[in-house]
Structure 1
Amino acid sequence: MKTVNWGVLGAAKFAREHMARAIHEAEGARLFALATSDPLKAAGFQAFCPDLKIHQGYEALLADPEVEAVYIPLPNHLHIEWTRKALEAGKHVLTEKPIAMAAAEIDALIELRDRSGLFATEAYMIVHHLQWQRARALVEEGAIGRILHADAAFSYDNRADTGNIRNRPETGGGSIPDIGVYAYGSVRWVTGAEPVALRSRIQRENGVDTFAQVLADMEGPGGRFTYTAMTSMRLPPRQEVVFQGEAGLIRMTAPFNAGLYGEAQLHMLRPGRPDHIERFPGARQYRNQVEAFGRRIRDGAPYPWLLEDARGTQAMIDRVFASDFALSD
């Protein structure tokens, strides 16, 4: 496969520590260019990619004819604007989650993607991890019977980091945009279900949600089940997802930041049968994402998370905000 030249819009910490490194290490990919006007930030990327081309602005990178694909790790409120500009510049685009702040904003991106013939999607890395692919396969084959309940929890505490974009309303901050996309989208992806009824309780500080609790009825190919989710930026770190079926349950112990929060493990517990544990110590979800993206734009290979999937999760997020019954500030 011909190597894909990647450009990165902005020297975000997450890009430097995770995605830019994944692009640099991935087969069929080359970390080619970075847009930043800050030499100190550029140096952090050049430390592991010395021949990196530096552009002083985003527009300059998009005008570079050697850049074929663009990764966008900008603050949430800029995702739609720069995804659109990248597509209009003739680039394939991988944009950090959430790709939009409202589901309706994604419609124009879908139309532009289809009209341009380019590929654009949200950087929803967990679907590229073996633990999630395995969970989906087990649920689809009925290993734990019909799903009756699912619950997800994702929390961390960043109250001391007051300048963090997640703590600022003007940059699209809050626990729901940051990690609700995982708590909600992961269950949607495994079960194929969508919410038919939903209620939420949200706590806010300075205009951003710091705690959100969701109770929903979900319905999909396997029928209807109940779903609960908790996200918070003010609680100690916790990550867990559980699918409970008529014949057993699947528990995922490090579902979102696999390898950082802990070892990715899938536990399947079924009455009268030995506990089944699968471990995934070497899986590289960011690198897998880059390589899958390359296969999609080079060979048209299937890709597990499209703009339509991102729109479904954002529609659920919109409903969570709209159904809040316990606003506090």
Structure 2
Amino acid sequence: MKTVNWGILGAAKFAREHMARAIHEAEGARLLALATSDPAKAEGFRAFCPDLKVHASYEALLADPGVDAVYIPLPNHLHVEWTRKAMEAGKHVLTEKPIALRAAEIDPLIALRDRTGLFATEAYMIVHHPQWQRTQQLVAEGAIGRILHADAAFSYDNRADPGNIRNRPETGGGSIPDIGVYAYGSVRWVTGGEPVALRSRIVRENGVDVFAQVVADMEGPGGRFTYTAMTSMRLPARQEVVFQGEAGLIRLTAPFNAGLFGEARVHMFRPGQPDHVERFPGARQYRNQVEAFGRRIRDGAAYPWSLEDARGTQAMIDRVFEGEMTLGY
């Protein structure tokens, strides 16, 4: 098996705590290089990867011939620019969500991917978790009948950290870019549904949305269904997704931060039948993502999330903002 050598642009906390470790531990992957202008920030990475090569600039890492693939955890407003630059440097690219702040910004990335033959995609890790893969399978098999309704909730409270990039408009902050991609994209991925009508209610602070409620009519292969979603950066932590069908419902616990928020489980409830629960305590969605990326660029294996998928979710996010009704608490 050919090892994929990875480089990371920026010493982000999330990269240090999650993705860098996943790359380091993944089969067929090697964490080779990090780009940061602050050598002190590299020490947290060297704690588990002592032979890490450190470049003083993003450009230097992209010029490194030993790097095959680049992971980009930069602030949201920099994702498109550095995804493009990485592909132009001949690197495969995995960019944190949201890969863009408008759907149209993804079109040039798709064209560049197709022109170069490189693989580039959004780091949408949940589709690599068996909790979500099992849910998609159950829905496709008709285990709860035709879907009639779905709802998603994702919230946390970061009001005590006003300098956080999620609380700053100039870095593409807000609950919708940060976690709306999960609330909206996950339901799209499971059902194949897209919004045909949508309205949203949004609360803003300092130019970023801190609460958003979406109500939509979705159209999928199984027909039309209703959908509601809530995201917030000002409410206590909550994560839940429910799919309701004609013959029962499926509830996902810890759907987005599996293992951190709680144990990942799929609960299926059907009238007249025993409740069905599947647990996934040891699943590693970030490592799974890295290994799937490696299989894709080595062997052309199927990969469950494309730039087109990311564009579909971003198009829904665009509609959420376009249909905004600004509210106050």
Q: TM-score range by the shorter chain?
A: over 0.9
Partner of 1:22: 22
User: Post-superposition shift, 1:325?
Assistant: 1.8
CA RMSD of aligned residues (A): 0.7
Instruction: Output the CA distance in 2 between the equivalents of 1:251 and 1:131.
Output: 11
Instruction: Output the CA distance in 1 between the equivalents of 2:200 and 2:126.
Output: 24
User: Post-superposition shift, 1:328?
Assistant: 5.0
Partner of 1:48: 48
TM-score normalized with structure 2 length = 0.99
Instruction: Output the CA distance in 2 between the equivalents of 1:262 and 1:117.
Output: 39
User: Post-superposition shift, 1:40?
Assistant: 1.4
Partner of 1:209: 209
Q: Unpaired segments of 5 or more residues in structure 1?
A: none
Give 3-state SS (helix, strand or coil) of 1:137's partner.
helix
Instruction: Output the CA distance in 2 between the equivalents of 1:328 and 1:121.
Output: 36
Partner of 1:134: 134
Name the % identity. Answer: 87
* Aligned residues of 2:203 and 2:211 also touching (Cα < 8 A): yes
TM-score normalized with structure 1 length = 0.99
Partner of 2:114: 114
Deviations 1:272-327 (A, max 9, x none): 00000000000000000000000000000000000000000000000000001235
Instruction: Output the CA distance in 2 between the equivalents of 1:69 and 1:137.
Output: 30
Instruction: Output the CA distance in 2 between the equivalents of 1:171 and 1:274.
Output: 48
Partner of 1:94: 94
* Aligned residues of 2:121 and 2:306 also touching (Cα < 8 A): yes
Q: Does 1:240 find its partner at 2:240?
A: yes
Instruction: Output the CA distance in 1 between the equivalents of 2:108 and 2:328.
Output: 33
Instruction: Output the CA distance in 2 between the equivalents of 1:323 and 1:315.
Output: 12
Q: Does 1:84 find its partner at 2:84?
A: yes
* Aligned residues of 2:4 and 2:68 also touching (Cα < 8 A): yes
User: Post-superposition shift, 1:154?
Assistant: 0.0
Instruction: Output the CA distance in 2 between the equivalents of 1:150 and 1:315.
Output: 19
Instruction: Output the CA distance in 2 between the equivalents of 1:157 and 1:328.
Output: 17
Q: Does 1:60 find its partner at 2:60?
A: yes
Partner of 1:123: 123
Partner of 1:144: 144
Give 3-state SS (helix, strand or coil) of 1:325's partner.
strand
Partner of 1:291: 291
Give 3-state SS (helix, strand or coil) of 1:218's partner.
strand
Deviations 1:65-93 (A, max 9, x none): 00000000000000000000000000000
Instruction: Output the CA distance in 2 between the equivalents of 1:299 and 1:328.
Output: 51
Instruction: Output the CA distance in 2 between the equivalents of 1:291 and 1:125.
Output: 11
Q: Does 1:72 find its partner at 2:99?
A: no
* Aligned residues of 2:217 and 2:226 also touching (Cα < 8 A): yes
Residue type at the aligned position of 2:17: E
Partner of 1:175: 175
Instruction: Output the CA distance in 2 between the equivalents of 1:284 and 1:88.
Output: 31
Deviations 1:144-179 (A, max 9, x none): 000000000000000001110000000000000000
Give 3-state SS (helix, strand or coil) of 2:43's partner.
helix
Q: 1:197-276 residue pairs with structure 2 within 5 A?
A: 197-276=197-276
User: Post-superposition shift, 1:114?
Assistant: 0.3
Q: Does 1:12 find its partner at 2:12?
A: yes
User: Post-superposition shift, 1:33?
Assistant: 0.1
Residue type at the aligned position of 2:236: P
* Aligned residues of 2:155 and 2:234 also touching (Cα < 8 A): yes
Instruction: Output the CA distance in 2 between the equivalents of 1:293 and 1:326.
Output: 39
Instruction: Output the CA distance in 1 between the equivalents of 2:214 and 2:119.
Output: 33
Instruction: Output the CA distance in 2 between the equivalents of 1:62 and 1:327.
Output: 44
Residue type at the aligned position of 1:229: A
Deviating 4+ runs (over 2 angstroms)? 326-329
Instruction: Output the CA distance in 1 between the equivalents of 2:263 and 2:175.
Output: 23
Q: Unpaired segments of 5 or more residues in structure 2?
A: none
* Aligned residues of 2:204 and 2:326 also touching (Cα < 8 A): no
Instruction: Output the CA distance in 1 between the equivalents of 2:52 and 2:60.
Output: 15
